[in-house]
Amino acid sequence: MARVAVEAAGVSGFDLMYRRWRRLPGCPPVPFTLGEDVVGRIDKLGPGVSTPTVGQRVAATTWSVGFGGGYTESICLPVTDLVSVPEGVDAAVATCLVANYLTAHLHLHRYGRAKPGERLLVHGAAGGVGSAVLELGRVAGLEMFGTASRRNLPVVSDLGAEPIDYRSEDFVARIAELTGDGVDVVVDPVGGARQLLRSYRALRRGGRLVWLGVAATRDGGLGVGFTSIVLVSVLRRLPGSRSVPDTPDVGTHALAHPDWCRSTLSELMDLTASGSIRPLVAERFPLADARAAHERLERGGHAGKVVLVTDTYRRVA
Ligand SMILES: NC(=O)c1ccc[n+]([C@@H]2O[C@H](COP(=O)([O-])OP(=O)(O)OC[C@H]3O[C@@H](n4cnc5c(N)ncnc54)[C@H](OP(=O)(O)O)[C@@H]3O)[C@@H](O)[C@H]2O)c1
């Protein structure tokens, strides 16, 4: 094990759900600490551990040590979970790579099987995960479309996608108008039966609908999750060439495939250090203002990931 002096910790839609709905499966009894990704510097090693070394900058998920734990100044993690963070990459920026970019990579490449030149539609395209999918889609040479609320349409454009206002435009009609026969992959972190059905209708022959989240619970409540599960199970039974792959969540996948998790996160660190991707930090909040960070995420309209930063971050930044 190694002890990490945390500089930055991610805040996510997942955190909001477990704070609001404590009867969700997997939620531990209160009190518990949220937070599934951290970046910091090793300040102490456990007995018998010599690598990595004290002082090294690292990033990690908290998935292997139980539920959450990332909203903290100090955390002990298995050294096998730690991935080096290049000096020069801001800790808040590096935090975006951990849960969000791993999620984006998994859903775009492994589940969505996106190939260069294919068309991609991303919902919640300015959000933490959505913006990460667009960044990786650009690197993969995809033709991209993204839905967002009006104020974030320029953000979606800057990320290399044709923006669609999800509140005032019908995205199925707009995709048909822009492409003729639809897209090859839809990545949908929004969920809800109507939304998922429309995402499916935006697919061309051979297309894949990759459902990964229920951001629509923000406005629609927990029922969104239930109707999404029912609709997806119906869509999976439909005949035809369009498909809805099974999409185990990123934590489950990472625990089953720790080598994938480490190598993908290292690759993402290199892409960031070289400037090939530029993860978006929506806003940095002091750790003690976690409540304000949650309120910010709940208000919506943010672009990128909301991040908590500690005093250590403010000393080194
Ligand atoms: N399966 C996995 O492994 C995995 C991993 C990570 C996250 N997730 C899930 O993915 C979802 C997104 O997470 P996140 O951290 O990216 O959240 P986020 O930063 O809050 O982004 C969500 C985005 O969805 C948009 N949105 C919200 N309601 C919408 C609606 N009814 N219709 C269309 N767009 C809507 C928001 O746009 P506006 O704010 O502009 O309205 C926002 O940009 C969450 O449910 C999270 O739990 C799943």
Do 250 and 265 form a contact (C-beta atoms < 8 A)?
Answer: no
pLDDT at 316 over 80: no
Residues with CB under 6 A from ligand 1: 12-14, 17, 99, 103, 123-124, 126-130, 148-149, 152, 166, 189-190, 212-216, 218-219, 249-250, 297, 300-301
Q: Can you tell me which residue has the tokens 């102490």?
A: 44
pTM above 0.95, yes or no: yes
Q: Is the pLDDT assigned to residue 315 strictly greater than 90? A: no
Give the closest residue (by CA) to ligand 1 atom 48: 213
Indicate which atom in ligand 1 lies nearest the CA of residue 300. Answer: 39
Whole-number pLDDT of residue 21: 87
pLDDT the model gives residue 24: 86
How far does the centroid of ligand 1 lie from the alpha carbon of residue 303, in Å? 11
Q: How far is it, in rounded angstroms, from Cα 9 to Cα 27?
A: 20
Question: What would the mean pLDDT of 117-122 be, rounded to a whole number?
Answer: 98
Give tens-digit pLDDT for 136-165: 999 999 999 999 999 999 999 999 999 999
Give the CATH superfamily of 113-237. Answer: NAD(P)-binding Rossmann-like Domain (3.40.50.720)
> What is the band of 65 on the pLDDT scale with cuts at 50, 70, 90?
very high
Domain ranges of the chain: 2-97+258-316, 113-237
- Average pLDDT over every residue of 207-215: 97
Residues 248-257, mean pLDDT to the nearest whole number: 97
Per-residue pLDDT tens digits for 16-25: 999 998 888 8
CB burial of residue 252 (10 Å; 0-12, 13-18, 19+): exposed
Q: How far is CA 197 from CA 8, 63, 133, in A?
A: 37, 31, 21
Measuring from atom 29 of ligand 1, which residue has the nearest CA? 216
Residue with the smallest CA separation from ligand 1 atom 18 is: 127
Which of 11, 12, 145 is the best mutation target for the ligand 1 pocket, counting ligand atoms within 8 Å of the beta carbon and taking the most? 12
- CA 88 – CA 273 distance, rounded (Å): 7
Stretch 288-306: mean pLDDT: 96
- Distance from residue 247's CA to the centre of ligand 1 (Å): 16
Confirm or reject CATH 3.30.1360.120 for domain 2-97+258-316, answering yes or no.
no
